[in-house]
Amino acid sequence: MTREEKLTVIEDLTAQLAEGSTIYLADISGLDAQATSNLRRAAFKANIKLAVVKNTLLAKAMEASEKDFGKLPETLKGNTSLMIAEAGNAPAKLIKDFRKKSERPILKGAFIEEAIYIGDEQLDVLTSIKSKEEVIADIIALLQSPAKNVISGLKSGGGKLAGILKTLSEKES
């Protein structure tokens, strides 16, 4: 690979890192061609960009990026695959689901909305992270709950009040 080609790859990786808020680093070495193909297909269906990258080029792209990746560059040893997604938990779910059939991929680390997770033991934590849409839905449900209680209370209270008034008016007659 020539120097110009390396610079182009670093620029492309830097751009990908800049636009992605969810970045996972995984080790997929040891997967055969069929398993790798299945992983790529599953990643595509889950709207996850998956690319095998050279550690030195990714490290330089991380340095050039405006984001603070903390200790994440230290995980760049051996084979490294870069996963970039919109949803914070999508790559973790993909890895966990894929590991039902295989021992790989192994999570090296993740960068999600400025938070850094290092090590494969973080996989369960990452799968439980809610996506932006799920958090918004939870907030809306919480906001609607008191309003629904007030409305149902007024409806039932109104019915009781009307019944009491009717009973009182009939007693007077």
pLDDT, tens only, 9-36: 889 999 988 888 889 999 988 888 999 9
In this prediction, residue 95 has a pLDDT band, given cuts at 50, 70 and 90, of very high
Structural domain of residue 168, as residue ranges? Answer: 131-173
Domain match, 164 and 89 both: no
Round the average pLDDT of the chain to a whole number and report it.
85
Domain match, 70 and 151 both: no
Domain match, 172 and 140 both: yes
Residue 149 φ then ψ, to 5°: -65, -45
Domain match, 36 and 46 both: yes
pLDDT recorded at residue 146? 74
Domain match, 153 and 90 both: no
**pLDDT higher than threshold 80 for residue 152:** no
Domain match, 171 and 123 both: no
Window from 74-88, 124-138, 143-157 with minimum mean pLDDT: 143-157
Q: Tokens for 173, please give them.
A: 């007659």
Sequence-distant (6+) residues with CB within 8 A of 128 are: 89
Domain match, 172 and 120 both: no
Domain match, 37 and 55 both: yes
Domain match, 22 and 46 both: yes
Domain match, 137 and 91 both: no
In this prediction, residue 115 has a pLDDT band, given cuts at 50, 70 and 90, of confident
**pLDDT higher than threshold 80 for residue 52:** yes
The more confident residue out of 83 and 122 is 83
Domain match, 78 and 154 both: no
**Mean pLDDT value of segment 50-63:** 92
Q: Tokens for 151, please give them.
A: 């409305």
CATH code, 86: 3.30.70.1730
Count up the domains in the chain and report the number: 2
In this prediction, residue 141 has a pLDDT band, given cuts at 50, 70 and 90, of confident
**Mean pLDDT value of segment 101-125:** 88
